[in-house]
Amino acid sequence: MLRTFVQKRTEKWDELMQIDTESEKVKIYSVDKELGFPFSEYYTTVTEMGYKTVKEMVTAIKSRKKEITTDRQIAREITGLLKLAKYRVDNNKYIYIIMKDGTKYNDIVERMKAYGMSETEAVTKIDYYINHNIERHNVKVTYENGDVISSTINGTIEEIESYYRIGSVFNIGSVTDNMQKITGLEFVF
């Protein structure tokens, strides 16, 4: 499980700390406030930071740093990378390197792949955003009866959170009415 904390805020960027509670790896990085893309990543471990256990580290950090929702933060970072791609296209600065074998290496596609996306999915998302200005997110919606529905939906994170608001009631029946309350929303990568 990933836990994300805000380390430091400045006028132009936030510094975040992401702790993987299973592997005990720690990622410290910055996020641009205007576009939202991540940069300046540094990797370490819980023990290298002077803690004996993940629990000890989380307890210590939680007392002085604000914890934020990891899945929404990752969704914002992916949107930030899409905005960065569009910014580069709009300003004739879209960068890629052509390798000797003819393959193109694109830093944004590679960075999106780090979130578990395939190259095809990353390129499709970039294309939608650049050419149609559409944000797309994969979500899992959990209902009170235990049903979980996975979907890809267009919209900003805020629009999706508003639409699938916890406590809202939806008819999830296919033949007969089946009114169910939403109990969870997760952004999936």
Q: What is the pLDDT of residues 75-134, one digit of tens each?
A: 889 989 888 888 877 776 655 544 455 555 477 888 888 888 888 888 888 888 877 777
User: What pLDDT score does 109 carry?
Assistant: 85
Q: Which helix (H) or strand (E) holds 56?
A: helix 54-62
User: What pLDDT score does 97 carry?
Assistant: 47
Structure token digits, residue 134: 């559409």
Which range scores top for mean pLDDT: 20-29, 73-82, 116-125, 133-142?
20-29
Structure token digits, residue 164: 């699938």
Give the CA radius of gyration of the chain.
Answer: 19
* 3-class DSSP state of 187: strand
Q: Are strands 136-143 and 148-154 parallel, antiparallel or unpaired?
A: antiparallel
pLDDT over 90 (residue 53): yes
User: What pLDDT score does 99 carry?
Assistant: 45
Specify the pTM: 0.69
Q: Which of 58, 49, 11 is nearest to 30 (CA)?
A: 11
The partner residues of 43 in beta bridges, in order of sequence, read: 27
Residue type, 127: D
d(CA 88, CA 83): 9
